[in-house]
């Protein structure tokens, strides 16, 4: 992804990929996401060619083109004219010419990209209501970037190290980020940095002694005399932001990008720009000191981590392409019937959005759902994925998940319930409200829960395009809940049953938890786990914990390992990262011994074609390759060929 935002082989300021990913409205971008191969191809095409392709796809219209092409051409022309003057500017100021060129490109690039956003961003997305009033998000985005650049300049050019290079660096970024006309940006960048003024500008260097016999009052002397005050005011202007941390400014920039529903590639672009400008600033004097290098490394490390973290945040389109989200769904262990129903829901939503995109009326339908099943069966996880599915398709603007239960909705006294319920719903707007154990809202001889239900039903109707509600709980209780109110029955028509995990699935979940924590299971422990979860599953009741049960078993094993190793000395990394059979306290010990004594075998099944293979714990496999279909299948755990307690096979 980084290579896409750094390719200036065709366009000197903004790679064509960035123009493509911000073109059109947010919904059209979600319905027609670009893959990296197509974006790389666009980076090799001219702006005219890209615009033509975008018009053919219906992403932009003539009005967009009339605004886009002129400003693009003006800024490119101004940048090229400036580039021809950079050798003279570098010579006069004593700056490294390559660093000046990098600085100019980065600053002009930021200005042109901000023009792209002005052209394509929908008005309803570009403003945000806050407690302090309405905020122009596009202006706030550019301000955040401007403060990052100004803050980086103030850190890399401290007040006690002022020089002509310091002054020139300030002149460069201020002229580009505080002027909007390309011609003014170019002229401001060059300023008085001409060979004719070279000697007189040297007074700005500490080691230069000006000729006091000269008493000229012209633009050069006024510039020199006003330099110290100008630099002081610039430092004062960014002082608060620098103290708060430039990484926090980038976090705000990333948040605004999410609010504008721009693709994740945009965050990577700003990450690249900040790195370019910081390195260009530090290289202006021809060297990069250890102190400068330490600051830049720290800032870019923080920003890089933030970019990775926020690329999946609500509103960012790249990480929410439908197939990617569904791919994450497929990676979940077990729940095959749930996965199928989620795909059906996604197909329905996609067709609905395509109808709207083509000017057809959507078919009346409801996305609200009831998830039934025991605890630990993945209901919350799937609900969170559904939010991302609906966001990727444009059904929901944010797609975030707000979890709550009865305590969050129902007050203790008269007059408390409706405000509580409304407050929770307000947080869930443009996303999914997930109400766990929703049946607890209905109780005999108690009407506060009923008030929460009535408030919820009204808000579901008032915000039918901004709110999806998923209620969850035990199957029988949820059926009674939905039947308790005609409004609930009419709105919750989609039921998804989450079955208990099988013993094999429970073993795989334990294995997954172990890998995520850097732990390895011995073959003996794997075999013991198979009998352990088979026993617990066979004796389960309606409150069976499923994945929560596995979590408890895993944590108990971690504690047992710690106790086992506590008396040992000179512990090796292998010893610290290995769980053994002795670390699992299991009620199935006797069953395991009996199974071995009877010489019973284990099997493993290819989940793709159903082919069955024998399984031995000592093989210590993670995956196998199926000889029938040629695909890889999970072989970390086997399945008992005969459940304990059953009759021996003849």
Domain positions in the chain: 2-310, 321-498, 503-640
Which residue, chain included where needed, has tokens 């093989």?
619
DSSP letter at 500 equals P
Confidence (pLDDT) at 471: 93
Q: Do 184 and 172 touch, CB atoms closer than 8 A?
A: no
Three-state DSSP at 649 gives coil
Confidence (pLDDT) at 306: 80
**CA gap 411, 403 in Å, rounded:** 17
Confidence (pLDDT) at 644: 55
Name, in order, each residue with C-beta under 8 angstroms of 257's C-beta and a sequence gap of 6 or more: 141, 266, 267, 270, 310, 315, 316
Name, in order, each residue with C-beta under 8 angstroms of 406's C-beta and a sequence gap of 6 or more: 437, 440, 441, 449, 452
Domains 321-498 and 503-640 share a fold: no
Question: Which option is the CATH number for 321-498: 1.10.3720.10, 3.40.50.300, 3.40.640.10, 2.60.40.10?
Answer: 3.40.50.300
**CA gap 421, 459 in Å, rounded:** 10
Q: What is the DSSP annotation of 185-239?
A: HHHHHHTT-SGGGHHHHGGGSTT----TT----SHHHHHHHHHHHHHHHHHHHHH
The closest of 506, 614, 22 to 263, measured between CA atoms, is 22
Confidence (pLDDT) at 315: 41
Q: Do 520 and 578 touch, CB atoms closer than 8 A?
A: yes
Confidence (pLDDT) at 446: 66
DSSP letter at 628 equals T
**CA gap 35, 263 in Å, rounded:** 12
Question: SS3 sequence, 569-627?
Answer: CCCCHHHHCEECHHHCCCCCHHHHHHHHHCCCCEEEECCCCCCEEEECHHHCCCEEECC
Q: pTM of the predicted model, to two decimals?
A: 0.56
CA 244 to chain centre: 23
CB atoms within 10 A of CB 164: 23
CB atoms within 10 A of CB 408: 15
Question: Which option is the CATH number for 503-640: 3.40.50.720, 3.40.462.40, 3.50.50.60, 1.10.8.60?
Answer: 1.10.8.60
Confidence (pLDDT) at 650: 32
Confidence (pLDDT) at 13: 96
Per-run averaged pLDDT (10 residues), the chain, 650 residues:
85 94 79 81 93 88 93 96 96 94 96 95 83 86 94 89 90 93 95 92 70 66 86 88 84 89 90 93 84 85 80 45 84 91 89 76 84 91 91 84 87 82 88 91 76 89 89 90 86 90 93 90 93 92 87 93 88 90 92 91 90 89 89 91 51
């Amino acid at each position: 992804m980084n290579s896409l935002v750094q390719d200036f082989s065709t366009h000197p300021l903004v790679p064509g990929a960035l123009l493509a990913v911000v073109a059109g409205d947010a919904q059209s971008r979600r319905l027609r996401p670009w893959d990296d191969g197509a974006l790389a191809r666009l980076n090799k095409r001219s702006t005219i060619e890209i615009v033509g392709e975008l018009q053919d796809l219906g992403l932009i219209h003539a009005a967009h083109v009339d605004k886009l092409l002129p400003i693009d051409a003006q800024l490119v022309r101004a940048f090229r004219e400036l580039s021809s003057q950079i050798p003279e500017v570098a010579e006069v100021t004593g700056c490294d010419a390559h660093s000046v060129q990098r600085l100019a490109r980065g600053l002009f690039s930021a200005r042109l990209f901000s023009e792209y956003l002005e052209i394509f961003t929908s008005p309803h997305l570009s403003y945000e209501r806050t407690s302090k009033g309405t905020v122009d998000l596009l202006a706030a985005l550019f301000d955040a970037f401007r403060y990052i650049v100004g803050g980086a300049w103030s850190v890399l050019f401290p007040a006690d190290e002022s020089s002509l290079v310091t002054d020139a660096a300030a002149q460069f970024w201020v002229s580009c980020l505080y002027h909007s006309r390309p011609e003014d940006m170019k002229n401001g960048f060059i300023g008085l940095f001409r060979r004719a003024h070279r000697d007189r500008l040297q007074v700005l260097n500490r080691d230069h002694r000006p000729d006091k016999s000269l008493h000229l009052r012209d633009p050069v002397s006024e510039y020199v005399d006003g330099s110290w005050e100008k630099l002081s005011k610039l430092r004062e202007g960014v002082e608060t932001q620098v103290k708060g941390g430039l990484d926090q400014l980038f976090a705000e920039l990333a948040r605004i990008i999410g609010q504008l529903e721009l693709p994740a590639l945009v965050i990577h672009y700003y990450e690249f720009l900040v790195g370019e400008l910081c390195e260009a600033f530090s290289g202006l004097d021809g060297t990069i000191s250890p102190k400068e290098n330490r600051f830049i490394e720290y800032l870019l490390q923080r920003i890089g981590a933030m970019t990775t973290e926020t690329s999946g945040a609500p509103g960012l389109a790249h990480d929410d392409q439908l197939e990617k989200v569904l791919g994450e769904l497929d990676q979940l262990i077990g729940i095959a019937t749930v996965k199928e129903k989620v795909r059906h829901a996604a197909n329905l939503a996609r067709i609905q959005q395509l109808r709207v995109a083509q000017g057809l009326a959507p078919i009346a339908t409801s996305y609200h759902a009831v998830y039934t099943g025991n605890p630990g069966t993945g209901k919350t996880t799937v609900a969170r994925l559904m939010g991302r599915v609906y966001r990727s398709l444009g059904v929901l603007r944010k797609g975030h998940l707000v979890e709550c239960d009865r305590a969050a909705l129902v007050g203790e006294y008269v007059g408390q319930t409706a405000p509580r319920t409304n407050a929770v719903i307000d947080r869930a707007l443009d996303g999914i409200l997930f109400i766990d154990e929703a049946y607890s809202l209905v109780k005999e001889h108690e009407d506060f829960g009923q008030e929460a239900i009535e408030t919820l039903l009204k808000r579901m109707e008032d915000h039918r395009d901004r709110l999806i509600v998923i209620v969850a709980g035990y199957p029988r209780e949820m059926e009674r809940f939905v039947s308790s109110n005609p409004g609930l029955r009419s709105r919750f028509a989609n039921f998804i049953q989450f079955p208990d995990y099988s013993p094999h699935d429970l073993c795989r979940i334990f294995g997954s938890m172990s890998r995520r924590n850097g732990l390895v299971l011995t073959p003996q422990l794997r075999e013991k786990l198979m009998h352990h979860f088979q026993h617990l599953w066979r004796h389960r009741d309606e409150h069976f914990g499923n994945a929560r049960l596995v979590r408890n078993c895993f944590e108990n094993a971690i504690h047992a390992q710690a106790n086992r190793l506590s008396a040992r000395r000179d512990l090796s990394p292998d010893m610290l990262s290995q769980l053994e059979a002795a670390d699992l306290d299991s009620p199935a010990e006797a069953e395991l011994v009996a199974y071995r004594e009877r010489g019973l075998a284990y099997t493993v099944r290819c989940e793709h074609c159903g082919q069955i293979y024998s399984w031995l714990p000592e093989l210590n496999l993670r995956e196998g390759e199926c000889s029938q279909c040629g695909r890889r299948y999970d072989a970390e755990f086997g399945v008992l060929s005969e459940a304990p307690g059953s009759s021996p096979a003849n």
